[in-house]
């Protein structure tokens, strides 16, 4: 069943590749070769699909629970979503030719529905260390700079002249002011780990009149470029990635890790389970010594001393609580 679902997802990915081929590619031939290989790899048996799924899983091992949707669930949603009563066209062509990658990191969490967390991830998470420069993806004007403790942390929303908006979340520092005009590539913030985040990264969204487009429909993160000079927004397909190749993404992540000092963070799951594993406390009985307690609890006197900030010569008394694990 899982395989069947995966197969369906990839079938739609192949369809996307086909429909997108009407647009004008300006990528090197080697890139097209990758697409060809991808389609070839998917055309046959389940084994290939399984491999691809495994690739995906290993690639996004750092993935965390997606943020709430800033436009519909955030505290300041009224402020953020200014497109509530706007009639959004079925289709529109958006010029994305003058762009800058917001950050060169690899994708740690793609756009889309997360079964594990039962929610949509309306952007893409990009690996970034705290203090890394975040750049404006296109020319535009800063619409919002704000802080949301339960969600995006320090974030920036930029309005672009083509009705596209980009959002940059979990920043440690914001370098711009509302109404400031920026050029593609201008530094707008420093990456961080603020808000609902368990490790430094950039949460990046691309919106067309409020619709959260898959950033991988516009940007080719594995090749650090845009797919085409114009992006055609269509209500039916804006959630799809374009030419998405798990292999290319895995290769780019490996290359990035080899050439950058990457701060590794504790994944959210490990972090919360560390608390439930917790420490163990015992009550000292009369006649107890540190060595007796250590023996009874399968630890050492040295460990007990370290956990409780005491010396092995420290006198313990009945009724006293001691941490043993």
Q: Is 125 in the site for Zn ion (CB under 5 A)?
A: yes
Q: How far is the CB of 108 from Zn ion (least distance, A)?
A: 9
Beta strands 107-109 and 211-213, pairing class? unpaired
Q: How far is the CB of 118 from Zn ion (least distance, A)?
A: 15
CB nearer to Zn ion: pick between 34 and 215:
215
The answer to whether 115 and 2 are in contact (CB under 8 A) is: no
Question: What are φ and ψ of residue 73, in 5° steps?
Answer: -120, -20
Q: How far is the CB of 247 from Zn ion (least distance, A)?
A: 23
CB nearer to Zn ion: pick between 69 and 220:
69
The residue of the chain with the least Cβ separation from Zn ion equals 203
CB nearer to Zn ion: pick between 46 and 272:
272
Query: Could you identify the residue written with the tokens 């086909």?
Result: 18
CB nearer to Zn ion: pick between 218 and 293:
218
The answer to whether 34 and 245 are in contact (CB under 8 A) is: yes
CB nearer to Zn ion: pick between 108 and 228:
108
- CA dist., res. 103 & res. 126, Å (int): 7
CB nearer to Zn ion: pick between 138 and 155:
155
Would you say how long the chain is, in residues? 325
The answer to whether 109 and 125 are in contact (CB under 8 A) is: yes
CB nearer to Zn ion: pick between 123 and 215:
123
Q: Which residues, numbered 84-123, are part of the site for Zn ion (CB under 5 A)? A: 123
Q: How far is the CB of 273 from Zn ion (least distance, A)?
A: 21
Q: How far is the CB of 136 from Zn ion (least distance, A)?
A: 18
Q: Which residues, numbered 194-223, are part of the site for Zn ion (CB under 5 A)? A: 203
- CA dist., res. 249 & res. 59, Å (int): 8
Q: How far is the CB of 310 from Zn ion (least distance, A)?
A: 44
Task: Please tell me whether residue 39 adopts helix, strand or coil conformation.
Answer: helix
CB nearer to Zn ion: pick between 123 and 153:
123
- CA dist., res. 9 & res. 241, Å (int): 11
Using alpha carbons only, give the angle 96, 101, 106 rounded to the nearest 5 degrees. Answer: 130
The answer to whether 191 and 132 are in contact (CB under 8 A) is: yes
Q: How far is the CB of 40 from Zn ion (least distance, A)?
A: 32
Which residues, other chains included, contact 157 with Cβ-Cβ below 8 Å and sequence gap of 6+?
80, 142, 143, 144, 145, 165, 166, 167
Q: Is 69 in the site for Zn ion (CB under 5 A)?
A: no
Q: How far is the CB of 170 from Zn ion (least distance, A)?
A: 8
Q: Is 139 in the site for Zn ion (CB under 5 A)?
A: no
Which residues, other chains included, contact 219 with Cβ-Cβ below 8 Å and sequence gap of 6+?
99, 101, 206, 225, 226, 227
The answer to whether 204 and 78 are in contact (CB under 8 A) is: no
Task: Taking each helix axis as running N to C, give the angle between helix 29-42 and helix 46-59, from 0 to 180 degrees, rounded to the nearest 10.
Answer: 120
Strand partners of residue 211: 208
Q: How many residues bind Zn ion (CB under 5 A)?
A: 3
Stretch that binds Zn ion, among 38-46, 95-103, 124-132, 281-289 (CB under 5 A): 124-132
The residues that touch Zn ion, with contacts defined as CB under 5 A, are: 123, 125, 203
């Amino acid at each position: 069943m899982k395989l069947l679902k995966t197969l369906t997802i990839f079938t739609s990915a192949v369809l996307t590749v086909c429909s997108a081929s009407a647009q004008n590619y300006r990528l090197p031939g080697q890139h097209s070769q990758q697409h060809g290989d991808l389609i070839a790899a998917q055309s046959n048996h389940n084994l290939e699909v399984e491999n691809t799924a495994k690739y995906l899983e290993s690639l996004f091992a750092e993935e965390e629970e997606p943020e709430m949707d800033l436009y519909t669930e955030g505290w300041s949603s009224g402020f953020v979503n200014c497109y509530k009563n706007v009639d959004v066209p079925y289709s529109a062509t958006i010029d994305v030719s003058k762009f800058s990658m917001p950050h060169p990191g690899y994708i740690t969490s793609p756009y889309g529905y997360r079964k594990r967390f039962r929610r949509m991830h309306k952007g893409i998470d990009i690996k970034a260390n705290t203090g890394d420069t975040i750049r404006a993806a296109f020319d535009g004007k800063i619409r919002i700079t704000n802080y949301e403790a339960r969600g995006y942390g320090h974030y920036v929303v930029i309005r672009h002249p083509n009705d596209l908006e980009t959002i940059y979340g979990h920043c440690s520092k914001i370098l711009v002011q509302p109404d400031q005009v920026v050029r593609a590539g201008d530094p707008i913030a420093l990456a961080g780990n603020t808000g609902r985040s368990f490790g430094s990264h950039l949460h990046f969204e691309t919106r067309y009149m409020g619709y959260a487009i898959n950033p991988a429909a516009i940007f080719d993160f594995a090749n650090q470029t845009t797919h085409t000079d114009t992006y055609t927004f269509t209500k039916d397909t804006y959630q799809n990635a374009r030419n998405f190749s798990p292999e290319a993404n895995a290769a780019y992540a490996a290359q990035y890790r080899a050439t950058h000092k990457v701060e590794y963070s504790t994944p959210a799951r490990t972090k919360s389970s560390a608390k439930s594993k917790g420490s163990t406390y015992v009550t000292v009985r009369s006649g107890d010594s540190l060595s007796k307690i250590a023996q009874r609890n399968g630890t050492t006197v040295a460990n007990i001393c370290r956990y409780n900030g005491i010396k092995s010569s420290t006198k313990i008394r009945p009724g006293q609580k001691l941490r043993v694990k």
